Amino acid sequence: MNVHSSKHRCTECRKCFKSCSALTAHRRSHSGEKPFECTVCSKRFTISSNLVRHSRIHGGDTGKPHKCCVCHKAFRQVSKLTTHMRVHPGFERYNCSLCNKRFNQLRAFRAHQRNIHNNRRPYDCRYCGKLFRSCYNLKCHVHMHTGAKPYSCRHCSERFTWQKQLKTHLLKSHNEGNWFTCHICQKKFSLSAHLKEHLLRHEGVKLYLCSECPKRFCTATTLKRHQLVHSDVKHFCCDLCGNDFKSKRSIVHHFNIGVCEIR
C-alpha cells in the first residue's frame, strides 16, 4: 500500500482511497447520509453524480432537446440519440434471421452468428461428455462438477463459482459497485443483462417463439429453458447418485439441497 492512499483510510472498513473527497463519499455508505436532494421530487442521493443522472427524468438537461423515450436521457444532436437508443432492448440495429435475437453492435452480431449457429463443438467434458463450442464455456461448465470456486471476495472469506455471483455479493454485502435500476419500477439488478431482460417484460416484447408450442418469450435464455420441457435429453449427471437432469439449474439445486447418496 502506498503512502498516499493510506492517508485516506475509512475507519469503519479500513478501505483506502486516493482522495479525501472519495473517502467522504464512501463514508456515507456506512452512515446512510444522503445530502443531495432532487428539487423536483425530493428524492435524495449519496453522491452528486447520481442526482445529476436522476434529474434527467425530469427534463433537467437544458440545451439538449432530443430525449430518449425509454430512459429520458437527453442529447444535443439527433445522431447521438439514435446511437444511444441501440442500448435499449427492442431498438437494436442488427437482427439474426435464425433466432430473431437482436444486437446493437455489428461485432457482437457476427460473433453470435459464428458461435451460436455453428454446430461444431470440439470441446468435450471429461465428466459427463457434454460438448462445447469454446474452451471458455467448457471451463465454466467443469466448475459444476469439481465444485471449484475461483472467485474470492477481497473483503471476506466468501468464494464463488461464477464471477457474476461475486459481483452480486460485493454489491449486497459490501456496497461495492453500481446497481442497475429500472426507471419504471425502481427495481435494482446487479447485472445490466438482467435489467435488459426485466425491461422487456415491462414493454411486453416477446420476440422468441417456441417451435414446439405457441408460447413466446422475452429472451433467448427463457426460451431455451422452456424448450427443455419438450425434450427427454438429460445432459447433466450427478457423480454421487447417478441421477440425470435436463438443466444446470436442476442439478445445482440437487447438489445444494443435499439429497443425493453415493452409489
| Per-residue pLDDT band at 35 (split at 50, 70, 90) | confident
Task: Classify residue 122: in a domain, yes or no.
Answer: no
Task: Classify residue 65: in a domain, yes or no.
Answer: no
Q: Which residue in this structure is represented by grid cell 420476440?
A: 207
Per DSSP, the three-state class of 132 is strand
CB distance 8 to 30 below 8 Å: no
Q: Which residue in this structure is represented by grid cell 468464494?
A: 159
Task: Classify residue 25: in a domain, yes or no.
Answer: yes
**Whole-model pTM?**
0.40
Task: Classify residue 51: in a domain, yes or no.
Answer: no
| Per-residue pLDDT band at 155 (split at 50, 70, 90) | very high
Task: Classify residue 16: in a domain, yes or no.
Answer: yes
Largest CA distance in the chain: 71
| Per-residue pLDDT band at 78 (split at 50, 70, 90) | confident
Q: For residue 247, give the C-alpha cell.
A: 438443466
Range of the domain at 2: 1-33
| pLDDT over 50 (residue 263) | no
Helix H or strand E segment including 163:
helix 163-174
CB distance 36 to 48 below 8 Å: yes
Per DSSP, the three-state class of 47 is coil
Identify the sign of the CA torsion 220, 226, 229, 233: positive
**Per-residue pLDDT reduced to its tens digit, 210-234:** 777 888 887 777 887 787 777 766 6
Q: What is the pLDDT of residue 153?
A: 92
Mean pLDDT of 195-209: 77
Return the closest-CA partner of residue 248 out of 162, 167, 168: 162
Q: Which residue in this structure is represented by grid cell 422452456?
A: 226
**Per-residue pLDDT reduced to its tens digit, 159-172:** 988 888 898 899 88
Give, in order, the Cα–Cα distances in Å from 53 to each of 61, 76, 100.
Answer: 10, 16, 32
Task: Classify residue 133: in a domain, yes or no.
Answer: no
Mean pLDDT of 88-112: 69
Mean pLDDT of 135-155: 84
Q: What's the number of domains the chain is made of?
A: 1
Task: Classify residue 41: in a domain, yes or no.
Answer: no
CB distance 119 to 131 below 8 Å: no
How far, in Å, CA of 27 to CA of 25, rounded?
6
What Rg do the C-alpha atoms of the chain give, in angstroms? 23
Task: Classify residue 15: in a domain, yes or no.
Answer: yes
CB distance 180 to 194 below 8 Å: yes
| Per-residue pLDDT band at 182 (split at 50, 70, 90) | confident
